[in-house]
Amino acid sequence: MSISISIHVFFVVFFAGCLNLQNSIAAIQKNDSSGSIDINIISLSIENDLPSLPKLFFYSDFQQKVEIGNGNRNAYVKLLNMNNHTGVFVWKQCAQFSVIPSMENGHQRIFWSVREDALYHSWDNANWEKKESWGSC
């Protein structure tokens, strides 16, 4: 008899949990008709496309000194909040770097390629725009 009561209690609790979950999903969908949840973060990826020497170092308001290795397998990847961020790349010379979410046209995935002539920016990791040239440190 006690097993039968336990099974009934389990199903009542399980059913109540399902109803609560359904209400939560309905509330999210009501707030966003597309069915997706807006997460306000930036995914930043930086690739070192320079010759191997000298080494490339990166400093920023969100990261102390970090060495970024050559090639896409060594890309530096970081999730950032939606604040403006700045930094500098140090190689043979220096290049300024900034992430300004309001200038990213709603894109939350940002790619940077560090090359011999300049820093390049992309939203799709395929089409690149030259942004910052190297200068003195």
pLDDT in tens, 33-50: 555 666 789 999 999 999
- Name every residue whose Cβ is closer than 8 Å to that of residue 38 and which is 6 or more positions away in sequence: 32
Question: What percentage of the chain exceeds 70 in pLDDT?
Answer: 72
pTM above 0.75, yes or no: no
Top pLDDT among 11 and 48 is at 48
Domain ranges (residues) in the chain = 41-133
The rounded distance, in Å, linking the Cα atoms of 55 and 92 is 9
Lowest mean pLDDT among 25-29, 73-77, 104-108: 25-29
Average pLDDT over the chain reads 82
Please report which confidence band the pLDDT of residue 54 belongs to, taking 50, 70 and 90 as the band edges: confident
pLDDT in tens, 56-86: 999 999 999 999 999 878 899 999 999 999 9
- Name every residue whose Cβ is closer than 8 Å to that of residue 110 and which is 6 or more positions away in sequence: 42, 43, 44, 45, 99, 104, 121, 122, 123
> What pLDDT shows up at residue 53?
81
Tell me which amino acid residue 95 is: A
CA 45 to chain centre: 7
> What pLDDT shows up at residue 28?
47
